[in-house]
Chains A and B, each alone.
Chain A
Amino acid sequence: MSGVMLQSCGSCGRVWQFRRGGCPQCGSTAVREVTASGGGTVWSVTQVMRAPLPELDLPGGYAIALVTLDEGPRVMCRAETGLVIGQRVTVGLGADGLPLARTS
């Protein structure tokens, strides 16, 4: 399991990431916590060369990806450098506790 937490609707089956009290699709409040399997596909990716915080401003920058998980939701992750849109990845938690997308 990936360690990336999601929520799932007990009524319509929709799965999402951002914590809510009800389903954004059908409104049901039968919400369950689930852990993402970790499989996903890169929806988009960028190499950030100018960080919003000075402590993150590293030479060469760092990659951020939006990954569409196999369960359905799109989640934002740190990413290995060099990923491309459409690529299969595994999302897990990195050493810093942040989600990280890597080639499987």
Chain B
Amino acid sequence: MAFLTGVAATAFGKYSGSDAPSLMETAARAAIADAGLPLEAVDGLVCGYATTFPHLMTATVMVERLGLTPRHAHQAAVGGATGVVGLLLARHLIAAGACRHVLVLGGENRLTGQSRDDAVKTLAGVGHPVHEVPLGASVPAYYALVAARHLHETGASERDLAELAVLMRRHAAAHPGAQLTKPISVDDVMASKPVATPLKLLDCCPISDGAAAVVVSAEPGQGASIRLAGWGEAHTHQHVSEMPDDLGLGARIAANQAFAGAGRSAADMRLLGLYDSFTPTLAIFLEALGFAPPGRAGAMAREGLFGRDGRFPLNLHGGLLSYGHPGVAGFLAHVVEVIRQMRGEAGDRQVAGPPPLAYCHADGGVFSSHAGFVLERTA
């Protein structure tokens, strides 16, 4: 049994003068305090990488900085899925009896710690060094290729994808920590600068500074008891050139494993935290996981299905698309919001009747590494 007992995220945005360890320290101390634990109780650490702080041993840098004495610590790297995989590793460490309280941590000054061009160039390196990167491909270009294929296969339109950006912005407006809060319309998304067709600037998440942390424990801890009820992973390829023809394959394998482990189905979920690096990322997940029929994610967003009062409230903090994306912390912020909602602590953004079941899912690379889990409020 593993429980999510402590969560914290900094506000995401532009923090000149910050650095990756200082941002991570802020989130780590807040999450451990949220769990009601003394620092010495934390006996495990899974720490993400930071592109602005390419230390070979970020985890032990943070052990030293926080004054922890863990039985296990290491740095994990599976791109955008790092936070979720970190939480699953924490669960496995607890199940094995190796640790009782594992801190999962990510954060960096991705916006102010490097030029925008350097950030784009660094991320493009997830592509194949011989067969993709030299062509001038970038992460938005890789996702654009998948997006174009998705639109071709489903008949959905660019305006449908834009609905998801509009929704994330609407949700972010209710969160004081969000980077982008100015309301946008589908027309605004369509009129924004083209990045790589069919993606426009507002189909893409911003680059941010920020950090987030989650404590996974062997027992429930103080307050609401939130159990990691089921989990799954799938790693189908690394490079978009070798992506399966079925765009949702990895997502579906991971999610089905998570739902089966929890003894639940997609229809049982009452809250979603889904990775949204680009609008098509969200569309493909929503459709692959059974929350919308093929090609209908945008239309269902327009109809209110994924709003706070809808059937499947989605990314109520605004997601990567509007809360922001500082790398590994990006998806951990989804988890932080899901936990706050499940505890009934989300204030003005609180969904009615704190949801008893939630599903979280992220991908790393270009739909390469998938990890997802079901959370259940048990008390």
Contacts and interface: CB of A to CB of B under 8 A. Distances in A.
Contacts of A99: 135
A45 B140 CA distance: 13
Interface residues of B, number: 33
A48 B242 contact: no
A30 interface: no
Contact of A52 (B136, B193, B240): B136
B43 interface: no
B146 interface: yes
A52 B121 contact: yes
A64 B136 contact: yes
Interface string A68-93: 00000011111000000110000000
Contacts of A47: 194, 196-197
A76 B239 CA distance: 10
A98 B132 CA distance: 10
Contacts of B117: 52-54
Given A18-B131, A78-B135, A64 B141 contact: yes
Contacts of A46: 141, 144-145, 148, 196-199
B124 interface: yes
A44 B140 CA distance: 14
B131 A76 contact: yes
B196 A48 contact: yes
Contact of B135 (A16, A44, A45, A77): A77
Contacts, number: 97
Nearest to B144: A46
B148 A17 contact: no
A42 B309 CA distance: 42
A64 to B, nearest CB: 6
B148 A45 contact: yes
A48 B121 contact: no
Interface centre among B135, B240, B243 (most CB of A within 10 A): B135
Contacts of A74: 241-243
A16 B128 CA distance: 14
Given A62-B136, A78-B135, A50 B195 contact: yes
A26 interface: no
B95 interface: no
A53 B136 CA distance: 7
B306 to A, nearest CB: 26
Contact of A76 (B120, B135, B194, B196): B135
A52 B120 contact: yes
A85 B242 contact: no
Interface string B282-318: 0000000000000000000000000000000000000
Contacts of A78: 135-136
Interface of A: 16-19, 43-54, 56, 61-62, 64, 66, 74-78, 85-86, 98-99
Interface of B: 117, 120-121, 124, 128, 130-132, 134-138, 140-141, 144-146, 148-149, 152, 193-199, 239-243
Given A45-B148, A66-B145, 8 more contacts: A18-B242, A44-B149, A47-B194, A50-B195, A52-B138, A64-B135, A64-B136, A76-B128
